[in-house]
Protein backbone atom coordinates (compact mmCIF):
# COMPACT_ATOMS: atom_id res chain seq x y z
CA UNK A 1 0.00 0.00 0.00
CA UNK A 2 1.54 3.36 -0.98
CA UNK A 3 2.25 5.79 1.86
CA UNK A 4 -0.49 8.28 0.84
CA UNK A 5 -3.09 5.50 0.64
CA UNK A 6 -1.93 4.03 3.90
CA UNK A 7 -2.23 7.40 5.68
CA UNK A 8 -5.75 7.81 4.31
CA UNK A 9 -6.68 4.31 5.44
CA UNK A 10 -5.19 4.85 8.90
CA UNK A 11 -6.92 8.23 9.21
CA UNK A 12 -10.26 6.63 8.32
CA UNK A 13 -9.66 3.72 10.69
CA UNK A 14 -9.00 6.08 13.60
CA UNK A 15 -12.01 8.29 13.02
CA UNK A 16 -10.02 10.90 11.10
CA UNK A 17 -7.42 11.42 13.83
CA UNK A 18 -3.89 11.36 12.54
CA UNK A 19 -2.24 8.03 13.27
CA UNK A 20 1.01 9.67 14.29
CA UNK A 21 -0.79 11.57 17.07
CA UNK A 22 -2.17 8.35 18.52
CA UNK A 23 1.00 6.33 18.24
CA UNK A 24 1.41 2.80 16.89
CA UNK A 25 0.19 1.04 20.04
CA UNK A 26 -3.30 2.54 19.67
CA UNK A 27 -3.51 1.32 16.09
CA UNK A 28 -2.72 -2.21 17.20
CA UNK A 29 -5.44 -2.14 19.85
CA UNK A 30 -3.02 -1.90 22.75
CA UNK A 31 -3.00 0.63 25.54
CA UNK A 32 0.10 2.79 25.61
CA UNK A 33 2.51 1.82 28.39
CA UNK A 34 3.63 4.11 31.21
CA UNK A 35 7.39 4.59 31.19
CA UNK A 36 9.82 6.71 33.20
CA UNK A 37 12.46 8.97 31.68
CA UNK A 38 14.92 6.07 31.32
CA UNK A 39 12.37 4.06 29.33
CA UNK A 40 11.64 1.58 32.15
CA UNK A 41 8.02 0.65 32.67
CA UNK A 42 6.49 2.26 35.77
CA UNK A 43 4.75 0.11 38.36
CA UNK A 44 0.98 0.52 38.38
CA UNK A 45 -0.89 1.55 41.53
CA UNK A 46 -3.75 -0.70 42.61
CA UNK A 47 -6.51 -0.14 45.12
CA UNK A 48 -6.56 -2.07 48.39
CA UNK A 49 -9.70 -2.57 50.47
CA UNK A 50 -9.81 -4.33 53.83
CA UNK A 51 -12.99 -6.09 54.95
CA UNK A 52 -13.30 -6.64 58.71
CA UNK A 53 -16.08 -8.51 60.48
CA UNK A 54 -17.13 -5.98 63.13
CA UNK A 55 -19.71 -8.18 64.83
CA UNK A 56 -21.95 -11.19 64.45
CA UNK A 57 -25.42 -10.70 65.93
CA UNK A 58 -26.20 -14.42 66.02
CA UNK A 59 -24.30 -17.59 65.29
CA UNK A 60 -22.51 -17.43 61.93
CA UNK A 61 -20.84 -20.61 60.61
CA UNK A 62 -18.41 -18.58 58.45
CA UNK A 63 -17.25 -15.48 60.31
CA UNK A 64 -16.30 -14.32 63.78
CA UNK A 65 -15.66 -10.75 64.96
CA UNK A 66 -12.19 -9.58 63.96
CA UNK A 67 -11.92 -11.73 60.84
CA UNK A 68 -10.34 -9.81 57.95
CA UNK A 69 -9.66 -10.25 54.28
CA UNK A 70 -8.40 -8.01 51.52
CA UNK A 71 -9.47 -7.12 48.01
CA UNK A 72 -6.44 -6.05 45.98
CA UNK A 73 -6.51 -4.99 42.35
CA UNK A 74 -10.21 -5.90 42.33
CA UNK A 75 -9.34 -9.49 43.24
CA UNK A 76 -10.25 -11.32 46.41
CA UNK A 77 -7.02 -12.27 48.21
CA UNK A 78 -7.67 -15.46 50.24
CA UNK A 79 -3.97 -15.92 51.09
CA UNK A 80 -4.13 -13.16 53.72
CA UNK A 81 -7.65 -13.91 54.97
CA UNK A 82 -8.39 -15.11 58.50
CA UNK A 83 -11.68 -16.93 57.72
CA UNK A 84 -11.12 -20.49 56.50
CA UNK A 85 -14.23 -20.43 54.31
CA UNK A 86 -16.45 -17.71 52.90
CA UNK A 87 -20.18 -17.36 52.49
CA UNK A 88 -20.81 -16.62 48.82
CA UNK A 89 -23.90 -14.63 49.72
CA UNK A 90 -21.92 -12.30 51.96
CA UNK A 91 -19.45 -11.61 49.14
CA UNK A 92 -22.40 -10.54 47.01
CA UNK A 93 -23.63 -8.30 49.83
CA UNK A 94 -20.19 -6.73 50.26
CA UNK A 95 -19.65 -6.04 46.54
CA UNK A 96 -21.76 -2.90 46.03
CA UNK A 97 -20.36 -1.18 49.11
CA UNK A 98 -16.85 -2.29 48.16
CA UNK A 99 -17.19 -0.54 44.78
CA UNK A 100 -18.23 2.73 46.44
CA UNK A 101 -15.48 2.60 49.07
CA UNK A 102 -12.80 1.60 46.55
CA UNK A 103 -13.45 4.72 44.48
CA UNK A 104 -13.31 7.01 47.53
CA UNK A 105 -10.31 8.50 49.30
CA UNK A 106 -7.93 6.49 51.49
CA UNK A 107 -9.53 6.02 54.90
CA UNK A 108 -13.06 5.96 53.49
CA UNK A 109 -15.10 3.24 55.21
CA UNK A 110 -18.65 1.97 55.44
CA UNK A 111 -20.41 -0.81 57.33
CA UNK A 112 -22.73 -3.26 55.58
CA UNK A 113 -24.68 -6.21 56.96
CA UNK A 114 -24.97 -9.54 55.21
CA UNK A 115 -28.23 -10.42 53.50
CA UNK A 116 -28.99 -13.07 56.11
CA UNK A 117 -30.79 -10.61 58.40
CA UNK A 118 -27.55 -8.69 58.98
CA UNK A 119 -26.09 -11.46 61.15
CA UNK A 120 -22.54 -10.49 60.13
CA UNK A 121 -21.59 -6.80 60.00
CA UNK A 122 -18.67 -5.93 57.73
CA UNK A 123 -16.56 -2.78 57.84
CA UNK A 124 -15.16 -2.05 54.39
CA UNK A 125 -12.19 0.33 54.42
CA UNK A 126 -10.11 1.86 51.62
CA UNK A 127 -6.39 1.56 52.31
CA UNK A 128 -3.43 3.12 50.53
CA UNK A 129 -2.75 1.93 46.99
CA UNK A 130 -0.09 -0.70 46.37
CA UNK A 131 2.32 -0.60 43.47
CA UNK A 132 3.30 -3.60 41.42
CA UNK A 133 3.11 -5.36 38.08
CA UNK A 134 -0.36 -6.83 38.66
CA UNK A 135 -1.78 -10.16 39.68
CA UNK A 136 0.00 -13.19 38.31
CA UNK A 137 2.29 -11.02 36.22
CA UNK A 138 5.99 -11.17 36.94
CA UNK A 139 7.80 -7.84 37.08
CA UNK A 140 9.43 -6.98 33.78
CA UNK A 141 13.14 -6.32 33.91
CA UNK A 142 13.80 -3.50 31.48
> Does 63 share its domain with 118?
yes
Task: Identify the band that residue 46 occupies on the pLDDT scale cut at 50, 70 and 90.
Answer: confident
* 55 plus 120 within the same structural domain: yes
CA atoms within a 13 Å half-sphere pointing along the CA-CB vector of 9: 7
Same domain for 51 and 27 = no
* Whether residue 37 has pLDDT greater than 80: no
pLDDT value at position 45?
81
Angle at 139 between CA 136 and CA 142, to 5 degrees: 150
Q: Are residues 122 and 64 part of one domain?
A: yes
Kindly state whether residue 108 falls inside one of the protein's structural domains.
yes
Domain assignment present for residue 9? The answer is: yes
Does some domain include residue 115?
yes
The pLDDT > 70 percentage for the chain reads 63
Q: How far apart are CA 113 and CA 94, in angstroms?
A: 8
Mean pLDDT score, 56-70:
95
Q: Where does the pLDDT of residue 139 fall: very low under 50, low under 70, confident under 90, or very high at 90 and above?
A: low
What average pLDDT does the segment 37-58 reach?
Answer: 82
24 shares a domain with 92: no
CA-nearest of 90, 92, 88, 108 to 48 is 108
For CA atoms 75, 78, 81, 86, give the dihedral sign.
positive
Q: Is the pTM of this model over 0.85?
A: no
Q: Is 18 a residue whose pLDDT tops 50?
A: no
- In a shared domain, residues 112 and 51: yes
pLDDT the model gives residue 40:
59
On whether both 24 and 84 belong to a single domain, the answer is: no
Query: What confidence category does residue 23 fall into, taking pLDDT thresholds of 50, 70 and 90?
Result: very low
Q: Where in the sequence is the domain holding 13, given as residue range(s)?
A: 1-32
d(CA 79, CA 69): 9
Ramachandran region, residue 107 (left: φ > 0; alpha: ψ -120 to 50; beta: rest):
left
Amino acid sequence: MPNASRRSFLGAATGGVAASALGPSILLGQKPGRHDQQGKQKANAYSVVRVTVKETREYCPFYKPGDTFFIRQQCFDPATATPKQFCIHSLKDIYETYMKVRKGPVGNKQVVGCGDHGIAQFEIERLADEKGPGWNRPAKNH
